[in-house]
Structure 1
Amino acid sequence: MRHLLIHAQFRILLFSLIFTTGASAQTADTLFFSIDMTGPVSEGWFEPGSEKVGIRGDQPPLSWGTTYQAADPNKDGVYEVAVPFKLNTDSLLVSFKIKVDGVENPDEGWQAGRNHEVMIYKGMQNSVALAWGDRPPEAPVTITGHVEIIRDFESENLLPRDLYIYLPPNYKESDRRYPVLYMHDGQALFDASEIGQEWKVDEAAEELIGSGEIAPVIIVGIGNTQDRIDEYTPSEQIWRHELKRVSPAEVSSLPGVYSGDFKTVEGDTIRFRTKADTLYAMIPGGESWQSLIPKTEHSFYLPQAGITFSFEASEGQGYKLIASKPSIGGKGDVYGEFILNKVKPFVDENFRTKPGKEFTALGGSSLGGLITLYLGLEYPDVFSKLLVVSPSVWWDGRMIINEVDELKGSTDQHIWLDMGTAEGEGAVESAEVLQQILVKKGWSDENLHFIIEEGAAHNERAWAKRVPDMLRFLYSTR
């Protein structure tokens, strides 16, 4: 089953590598981008002939995993792209960044600084113009209540990070002890000035505690680092697939010798052709050829997907094709030990907590939701409640589903599980499979709260709307 899931993921990824440009069908809700890249061109690190530029963002059809490619019709260094949105309300707030798909670029091709934001309106023409060096204005601090920040909290095996510790009302005036909720991506929980968006956990906690709907609680936000993907994933994702040639090459000279068709074990075909000594690829289901960047004489890079195509001599077939990406992830257990052996002891020692498992919860979203479920099930004697928010079930061939399916039975932990319908292809289906496996293992409506949120995207604004119900699920006094 794991083998089939990996190849299914490969097939889905290939089909997803179709990028829409300004020539796309446009609607009244289209957002027109003008992207000035003359600075990077003059600095010499951006090569318009071989590298691509576009937009990534948090509202479909944009995503943070795929670049919506722009074009430079006038060859003046100013790129244009029209992104058609489907608005179900009068307006939509979109977070986005410029992304360059290439090799050896600053910050791996990501525009520096916090995300940009633009409000688009239904039935109107919307546009935004920005240059690579533009930065969004500083956002005001939005902390509500009392949040203590511990800067550069050390770890022996991981990068240092900040801790954000929300203390309930009247903490200073009382001597009582409190349950603790530990959450990942700590800089996104309480203060919009940190990354531009926030979960508004502090606002929700202040209101619900003040009204008596939930018991007072300490909430610890564990900041992420540049190694977030590695730390929030339980396994190393190895991405390598071999394809066989099924049609002859067009010519016998380089790079034309690599032209022709290659098939995956699932029967999907990738086509290659050459034009003006440049190798192009046609992805299954695609309608446009994508240029490849030569890395060596025998290997080429597809920047939009981060895939390297390596052509290796194969007896009787001329060449076989290896499609690969760098392995990533797999430090989840080390990160878990950091929480258990460093963060939790520090919080228990310096704040008035109830350290027992019945008073300790863990939560996070996206990859943070993935690592929450993994670590929670790994340490049921430490965490009795889990907030598994928009989890990245797709990781490593949906390995988390196999992990849950290998459980002997329910751990009797209380689990919140949710997903939005606008979080990407297959996200809801994966969450439903995960829920079904949990039910099969013995969870029920009494300790598993499963929500599919209609129209919710994969961002902090969507999660903020669900935070009050999450806190009620964990700490309701009613």
Structure 2
Amino acid sequence: MPSLRSTLAPLLFVATLSVPATAADAPKVSTALPGVSLLGSPVEMPGLERKRQLRLYLPPGYATSGKRYPVLYMHDGQNLFDNATAYAGEWKVDETLDALAKEGKLELIVVGIDNGQEKRMTELNAWDNARIGKGEGREYTDFIVKTVKPMIDRQYRTLPDRAHTAIMGSSMGGLASHYALVQYPDVFSKAGVFSPAYWTAGQSVFDFVTTRPAPKDARVFLLMGGKEGPQMNADVKRMAETVKQTGHPAANTVLKIVPAAEHNEAFWAGELREALLWMFAPEDAKAASSK
């Protein structure tokens, strides 16, 4: 039987990501590039009686190209683009995508949804947890699909179909991203599931994925650090096997475990480029790379 310490360890280090900065923290210098902006005022979240700030990244050529772009929706918006707003370092999403655009490899619009700080653990979980609280993930995902996405598609030159729409996050955001892909297969065709906190959902998330197989063309990138704990590593391997048992093609699933990696933004930032290039690769290029 696992010790109490080993049982509570995931809760402790995942929960720390929901703690807001204090006034005593030293000011941080903004690292956001010109393509990043706050998207207006916080947006009302139907069914949750609260609002949430959105952050937007536009590719370097957006203003002059006239083109339409794929869209990636990401959780924990405060941590994506700017060290000044990040809790424990940023993902460097803007730096990574500016570089990919300059190389002619990938151009995306990214929409970051800020986390709810003390509400983060419940908003990003579609299932109830006795220690954490009642899950609000269904309402949160509905907010992205029914409020945020239509607004983005109206206001920006997007490619709104599922083939060009993805979702990504880490820890609780990894869990939320996998849930969104399965819950809304007509909206999302790709999910970046980084360091997923499947343990917060228990058996329910495995049953959910088993009984509602994702479309065969859906792409799932599962990432885990070897030092993120035995339970999280066991769970992501179990999920990869669960996805396989639903009949999902091996070419459309990645399970990457980085032995020396820990649960932090530096790890996720370092893996972002590879994940995005695989998720958004043209079908023929992805098929060739898997041979």
TM-score range, shorter chain: 0.7 to 0.9
2-structure distance, mates of 1:414, 1:476? 10
The residue that corresponds to 2:123 in the other structure is 231
2-structure distance, mates of 1:472, 1:200? 15
1-structure distance, mates of 2:58, 2:244? 35
2-structure distance, mates of 1:435, 1:385? 15
| Structure 2 residue identity aligned to 1:161 | R
Calculate percent identity across the aligned residue pairs: 34
What pairs with 1:235-250 in structure 2 (closer than 5 Å)? 235-238=127-130
Q: Judge conservation of contact 1:348–1:355 (CA < 8 Å) in 2.
A: yes
2-structure distance, mates of 1:351, 1:472? 22
Residues 381 and 409 (structure 1), Cα distance of their counterparts in 2 relative to 1, 3 Å cut: closer
Q: Judge conservation of contact 1:198–1:464 (CA < 8 Å) in 2.
A: yes
2-structure distance, mates of 1:232, 1:329? 11
The yes-or-no answer on 1:175 pairing with 2:66 is yes
Q: Which has the higher contact order (CA 8 A, sep 6+)?
A: 2
The residue that corresponds to 2:191 in the other structure is 386
The residue that corresponds to 1:197 in the other structure is 89
Shift of 1:349: 0.7
The residue that corresponds to 1:84 in the other structure is none
Shift of 1:15: 4.8
When normalised by structure 2's length, the TM-score is 0.87
1-structure distance, mates of 2:61, 2:214? 41
Structure 2 unaligned spans of 5+? 286-291
Q: Judge conservation of contact 1:213–1:476 (CA < 8 Å) in 2.
A: no
Shift of 1:411: 4.3
More strand by share: 1
The residue that corresponds to 2:25 in the other structure is 136
1-structure distance, mates of 2:277, 2:213? 29
Q: Judge conservation of contact 2:45–2:140 (CA < 8 Å) in 1.
A: no
1-structure distance, mates of 2:260, 2:75? 24
Structure 2 residue corresponding to 1:207, chosen from 99, 110, 133: 99
2-structure distance, mates of 1:474, 1:209? 16
Q: Judge conservation of contact 1:410–1:441 (CA < 8 Å) in 2.
A: no
Describe the SS at the equivalent of 2:45. coil
The residue that corresponds to 1:301 in the other structure is none
More helix by share: 2
Q: Judge conservation of contact 2:43–2:51 (CA < 8 Å) in 1.
A: yes
2-structure distance, mates of 1:417, 1:332? 20
1-structure distance, mates of 2:187, 2:216? 12
* Paired positions, count: 277
Structure 1 ranges of 4+ moved more than 6 A:
none
Residues 235 and 343 (structure 1), Cα distance of their counterparts in 2 relative to 1, 3 Å cut: same
Q: Once superposed, what is the RMSD of the aligned Cα atoms?
A: 2.4
Shift of 1:410: 4.8
Q: Judge conservation of contact 1:181–1:219 (CA < 8 Å) in 2.
A: yes
Shift of 1:16: 3.0
The residue that corresponds to 2:182 in the other structure is 377
The yes-or-no answer on 1:65 pairing with 2:55 is no
Describe the SS at the equivalent of 1:446. helix
1-structure distance, mates of 2:111, 2:134? 24
| Structure 2 residue identity aligned to 1:190 | F
When normalised by structure 1's length, the TM-score is 0.54
Describe the SS at the equivalent of 1:334. helix
The residue that corresponds to 2:112 in the other structure is 221
Structure 2 residue corresponding to 1:475, chosen from 254, 259, 280: 280
Alpha-carbon displacement from aligned partner over 1:113-155 (angstroms, at most 9, x marks no partner):
26xxxxxxxxxxxxxxxxxx8x332111001241121231222
Structure 1 unaligned spans of 5+? 1-10, 19-61, 67-95, 98-106, 115-132, 239-324
Structure 1 residue corresponding to 2:6, chosen from 16, 25, 39: 16
Describe the SS at the equivalent of 1:468. helix
2-structure distance, mates of 1:170, 1:148? 15
1-structure distance, mates of 2:37, 2:228? 32
| Structure 1 residue identity aligned to 2:36 | V
| Structure 2 residue identity aligned to 1:143 | A
Residues 368 and 329 (structure 1), Cα distance of their counterparts in 2 relative to 1, 3 Å cut: farther
Q: Judge conservation of contact 2:228–2:263 (CA < 8 Å) in 1.
A: yes
The residue that corresponds to 2:268 in the other structure is 463
Instruction: From the CA coordinates, give the structure whose radius of gyration is larger.
Output: 1
The residue that corresponds to 1:431 in the other structure is 236
